[in-house]
Structure 1
Amino acid sequence: MSTSIIIADDHPLILKGLNDFLLEKKYNVIASAKNGKEAITLIKAHQPDIAILDIQMPMLSGLQVAEQCKEAQLGTKIIIITFEKSEEIYRKAKTLGIYGYILKEFAIAELETCIANVLNERQYFSPELMQYLEIKETPEELKELTATEMKILKRIANNETGVMMAEAMHVSVRTVEKHKSNIIKKLNLNQKQNSLVIWVKENEDYII
């Protein structure tokens, strides 16, 4: 089944452009909204894989919609699009667990790459934004990890034990440990105790 997406933007031409591009690329655009209130209503009703939201919208901003999604513990992954290169927005997006931050002038060029990263549990922030804010880009090693391995890292960042992870993910503790071993190899870490925990704490900004 193709990735289900809801889009929201109060500019009709941008909304149409996004819709046409996504349909051309065979994504399943199930609904569109012209303001933040419509967006959150649609997200709650359909719970799509991804919601692509303009930041500045009437009634609720894209960030406010993302905040409500987080409070409601919805599984929809949020991508925001904006003309603004703002460190304040960047920090807020990280706090809310937003998966993508794309600058509008590069939206069409970067959207496919962003969605591919998001579906693999990786954040994608426009390189132009990262360069402008002088923020170090996501470590290359993280791009080698699978979606499941990224989930393990997030649980480590949340101080979950192997037993807690196994219960939450409905797998055995042995399976969790195998994933950890694979992650250690991919990150080129040594086998010393807590090496993975230390790496996660040092790179927590890149792990949602």
Structure 2
Amino acid sequence: MKKTTLIIADDHPLLLSGTENFLKTRGYTILETATDGNTAYNNIINTQPDIAILDFDMPKLNGLEIAKLCQQHHIDTKIIILTLHKEEAIIKQIGVTIHGYILKDDTLQEIESCITQVIKGNIYKSKKLQEEIHLSDDTNTIKRLTPTELKILRYLAKDWSSSQIADHLFISKRTVEKHRSNVIHKLDIKSSQNALLLWVQKNPELFN
């Protein structure tokens, strides 16, 4: 059976080395490594690996920019993005220009599962990223919120902090946090307030 060929790029040498060594012990063929986006993209062009595992935030070109270039130039290499935090821009590209998205905290635990799924033609999202909010009817659910709760959600959609919202509405930060908790309860969200913010940002039309 042909071994899966990989390119790895990360501007943190220790993380790059750790990922490379781990994947080598698991039997993968590492064709090249890189610490910046330009080098990574050139490596992809020159070696045409099965998969490129790319840090999102790198000098010269970031992981998403490389993925879009690969798509534009019809390069078949599948792209897996690594990052420290949830990034809305990356989530929107899953299944479009990228095939996998893993948080760096979970890299060694999940990277094999991700590679396996991507090679099969599936997409893969880090388990923590799957803690998204699923509502049966978003519009009807929104109608359950009070005017104040809706107003706070609108500010959350603008990425305002609780302190900024409190100052703007002339209420205490504690009151804002209470409203946020009420929203999470009403929407039956079994996730974090960060997931609530992510959902708000993905559904701005519900707050117009």
TM-score (norm 2): 0.62
State how far apart, in whole Å, the 2-side matches of 1:88 and 1:34 are: 22
* CA positional deviation for 1:88: 2.8
- Spell out the pairing of 1:44-59 with structure 2 (5 A cutoff): 44-59=45-60
* CA positional deviation for 1:95: 3.0
Deviations along 1:41-69, one digit per CA (max 9) or x if unpaired, are: 00000000000000000000000000100
Deviations along 1:99-145, one digit per CA (max 9) or x if unpaired, are: 100000000000010011011100010110120x3369xxxxxxxxx
Unaligned runs of 5+ in 1: 137-208
The equivalent residue for 2:63 is 62
The equivalent residue for 2:102 is 102
Matched, 1:91 2:119: no
The equivalent residue for 1:165 is none
- Spell out the pairing of 1:1-208 with structure 2 (5 A cutoff): 1-96=2-97, 98-131=98-131, 133-134=132-133
* CA positional deviation for 1:84: 1.5
State how far apart, in whole Å, the 2-side matches of 1:88 and 1:9 are: 19
Seq. identity, %:
42
State how far apart, in whole Å, the 1-side matches of 2:134 and 2:39 are: 33
* CA positional deviation for 1:29: 0.3
Deviations along 1:143-186, one digit per CA (max 9) or x if unpaired, are: xxxxxxxxxxxxxxxxxxxxxxxxxxxxxxxxxxxxxxxxxxxx
Name the SS of the counterpart of 2:40 in structure 1: helix
The equivalent residue for 1:150 is none
Unaligned runs of 5+ in 2: 136-208
Deviations along 1:180-202, one digit per CA (max 9) or x if unpaired, are: xxxxxxxxxxxxxxxxxxxxxxx
| CA 1:70–1:135: 2 relative to 1, 3 Å | farther
| CA 1:77–1:88: 2 relative to 1, 3 Å | same
Q: CA RMSD in A?
A: 1.3
TM-score (norm 1): 0.62
Name the SS of the counterpart of 2:54 in structure 1: strand
| CA 1:135–1:112: 2 relative to 1, 3 Å | farther
| CA 1:72–1:135: 2 relative to 1, 3 Å | farther
| CA 1:113–1:59: 2 relative to 1, 3 Å | same
The equivalent residue for 1:143 is none
Q: Tell whether the 8 Å contact from 1:4 to 1:30 is kept in structure 2 after alignment.
A: yes
Name the SS of the counterpart of 1:95 in structure 2: coil
Q: Tell whether the 8 Å contact from 1:63 to 1:93 is kept in structure 2 after alignment.
A: no
Q: Tell whether the 8 Å contact from 1:4 to 1:48 is kept in structure 2 after alignment.
A: yes
Bigger CA radius of gyration: 2
* CA positional deviation for 1:25: 0.2
